[in-house]
Structure 1
Amino acid sequence: MRFIIDGDGSPVKNEVIQLAQKFQLPVVIVTSVDHFTNKEYPPHVSFIYVDKGADRADYRIVKEIQREDWVITQDYGLASLVLGKQARVFHHSGKEYTAANIDELLTQRFMGAQLRKAGKRTKGPKPFTLQDREHFTEVMTENLKEAKANN
């Protein structure tokens, strides 16, 4: 089991890295070369850099994913592809994408795009707060404990 992070826009990289260290799991961060870093990371963290371009990181994540992996992304399209490979997928809010909710989320995304295309304004995401980070960590900790107990 690994964490794979859709790294270009994830606000919870540090939280995932800390959780992974606590539960002794590797982390793979897939991100564009635009976000290359020389920052030192713990040994359980690795990076996969992809070329610039729409969906390049998503395609690489789909290629890399294994059934027992957990993916962190806010991209509904990527989530639907990962679910097809039977991995678990989580939003940075802590909400898990599932076969039961992904169709509704994709429909909402489509409807928002149609509204924007028609010149309507739609709300963007709220700023990510410390409270949001704490909630994510709590939810993921519970999921990890449950997964460990079931293995």
Structure 2
Amino acid sequence: MNIIVDADACPSVIKEILFKAATRTQINTLLVANHYMKVAPSPFITFLQVNAGFDVADDEILKRCEKGDLVITSDIPLAADIIAKEGMALSPRGELFDKQNIRSRLNTRDFMDTMRASGVNTGGPPPMSQRERKEFAGHLDRILASNK
């Protein structure tokens, strides 16, 4: 198993949790983004900067993901593609996407896109809560423990 992070929109606090987990478990972790970012010095953590552009990072993540890999992303269509490749997808807010919930999450996302396109201000997500951080860390720990 490898961990691949959709790093452009991943909060720093979640990256820190991932850096500690990668080093502790010695699981290769790749952060993919279209802008440069510093990563923790570890032989298990690498960074790949891709060109700017629509879905360039997502396409690279999808290309690199293999069965059993864990992808950290809040991008619902990317999560659906990862699940279709038999990977695992976990949002930075602690939501574990799977075959049972991804279809409804895609429908909700598409509905919200339609609302925004028609001029409705849907607002953005609220700030990340402590509960969401704990939920993320808990899911990550369970996934990593089951990988041993």
Relative to the length of structure 2, the TM-score reads 0.91
1:123 and 2:140 equivalent?
no
Give the Å deviation of 1:19.
1.2
* More off after superposition, 118-127 vs 3-12: 118-127
1:26 and 2:4 equivalent?
no
1:9 and 2:9 equivalent?
yes
What is the aligned-residue RMSD (CA, Å)?
Answer: 1.5
* 1:38 to 1:100, Cα distance in 2 relative to 1, 3 A: closer
SS where residue 8 of structure 1 aligns? Answer: helix
Give the Å deviation of 1:44.
0.9
One-letter identity of the residue aligned with 2:18: V
1:50 and 2:50 equivalent?
yes
Other-structure match for 1:80 = 80
Other-structure match for 1:99 = 99
One-letter identity of the residue aligned with 1:17: F
One-letter identity of the residue aligned with 1:30: V
- The separation in 1 between residues aligned to 2:104 and 2:5, in whole angstroms, is 23
Q: Is the 8 A contact 1:15 1:133 kept in 2?
A: no
Give the Å deviation of 1:41.
2.4
Q: How does 1:51-66 map to 2 (within 5 A)?
A: 51-66=51-66
- The separation in 1 between residues aligned to 2:42 and 2:57, in whole angstroms, is 22
* More off after superposition, 100-109 vs 128-137: 128-137
> What per-residue deviation string (whole Å, max 9, x for no partner) do you get for residues 12-35 of structure 1?
111111112222201000110xx2
Consecutive unaligned residues in structure 1, runs of 5 or more: none
